[in-house]
Structure 1
Amino acid sequence: LTYLWLKEDFELRVGVRKVFWGVTEFIHLIDIVNQTDLVESVDTEDKLGQPMVNFSVSRDWGMVDIFWMPFFRERTFVGTGGRLRGASVVDEARTQYESAAEEWHSDWALRYSYTFGDIDMGLSQFVGTSRDPTLLDGTDSNGDDIKIPKYEQIKQTSLDVAYVIGEWLWKLESLYRTGQGNEDYFAWAGGFEYTSVGVLESKMDLGFVGEWLYDDREDDADTAFENDIAGGLRLTVNDAASSEALLGWVQDVDTSARLLFLEASRRFGNNWLLNIEMRLSLDQPDSDFLFDQRKDDLFQTELFYYF
Structure 2
Amino acid sequence: MTRTGDMGMTGRALPLRRWLAATGFCLAASMAALNAAHADDFTLRGSIEPEIRAFTQAASNSRQTDSDLSIAGEITAKYFWDGGNQSLVFTPFGRLDQRDSRRTHWDLREARYARVMGDWEFRAGFDKVFWGVTEAVHLVDVVNQTDLLEDPIKQEARLGQPMVRLRTTQNFGTVDVFVLPWFRERTFAGPNGRPAFDIPVDPSLTRYESSRQQRHVDGAVRYSNHFGDIDLGVAYFQGTNREPILTPALSKDGDLVLAPFYAQMKQASLDVQATKGAWLYKFEGFWRRELGREYEAATGGIEYTLYGILGTDNDLGLVAEYALDSRGMTARNPYQNDGFLALRWTANDAASTSLLGGAVMDASTGALGLRFKGERRLGDDYRLSLEAYFFGNVPRRDPVYSIADDDYVQLRIARYF
* TM beyond 0.5: yes
User: How many Å apart are 1:41 and its aligned residue?
Assistant: 1.3
Equivalent runs, 1:67-216 vs 2, <5 Å: 67-179=178-290, 183-216=293-326
Residue 103 of structure 1: how far off its partner (Å): 0.8
CA distance in 1, matches of 2:273, 2:246: 33
Q: Output the CA distance in 1 between the equivalents of 2:219 and 2:391.
A: 37
Q: Residue 166 of structure 1: CA displacement?
A: 1.0
Deviation at 1:142, TM superposition (A): 4.1
In the other structure, the counterpart of 1:224 is 334
- Report if the CA contact (8 A) 1:167-1:195 is conserved: yes
Instruction: Tell me the residue number matched to 2:390.
Output: 280
User: Which of 257, 261, 264 does residue 367 from structure 2 map onto?
Assistant: 257
CA distance in structure 2 between the aligned counterparts of 1:259 and 1:157, rounded to whole angstroms? 29
Relative to the length of structure 1, the TM-score reads: 0.97
* Residue identity matched to 1:112: Y
Seq. identity, %? 43
1:293 positional shift: 1.9
Cα deviation digits, residues 155-179 of structure 1 (max 9, x gap)? 1100000001110000000001111
- The alpha-carbon deviation at position 244 of structure 1 amounts to 0.8
Report the alpha carbon displacement of residue 292 of structure 1 after superposing the two structures with TM: 1.8
* 1:145 Cα deviation after fit: 1.7
Q: CA RMSD in A?
A: 1.1
Q: Is the 8 A contact 1:215 1:221 kept in 2?
A: no
Asked if the contact 1:66/1:110 (under 8 Å) is kept, the reply is yes
Matches of 1:126 and 1:192, distance apart in 2: 27
Mapping of 1:229-240 within 5 angstroms? 229-240=339-350
Matched residue, 1:58:
169
CA distance in 2, matches of 1:149, 1:141: 15
Q: Which runs of 5+ in 1 are unaligned?
A: none
- Match of residue 140 from structure 2: 30
325, 331, 356: which one aligns with 1:246:
356
Give the distance between the partners of 1:304 and 1:185, measured in 2 at CA. Answer: 42
CA–CA separation in structure 1 for the residues paired with 2:404 and 2:113: 45
Q: Which runs of 5+ in 2 are unaligned?
A: 1-110
RCO comparison, higher one (Cα < 8 Å, 6+): 2
Q: Is residue 271 of structure 1 aligned with residue 381 of structure 2? A: yes
How much has 1:182 moved relative to structure 2? 6.5
Given that residues 330 and 399 in structure 2 are in contact (C-alpha distance below 8 angstroms), is that contact kept between their aligned partners in structure 1? no
Cα offset, 1:294, TM superposition = 2.1
Aligned residue pairs total 306
Q: Is the 8 A contact 1:134 1:151 kept in 2?
A: yes
TM-score, with length taken from structure 2: 0.72
SS for the counterpart of 1:265 is strand
Larger Rg, first or second structure (1 or 2): 2
Q: CA deviation at 1:18?
A: 0.8
User: For 1:81-101, what per-residue CA distance to the aligned partner results, in whole angstroms no more than 9, with x for missing partners?
Assistant: 111111110000111111111
The answer on 1:45 being equivalent to 2:156 is yes
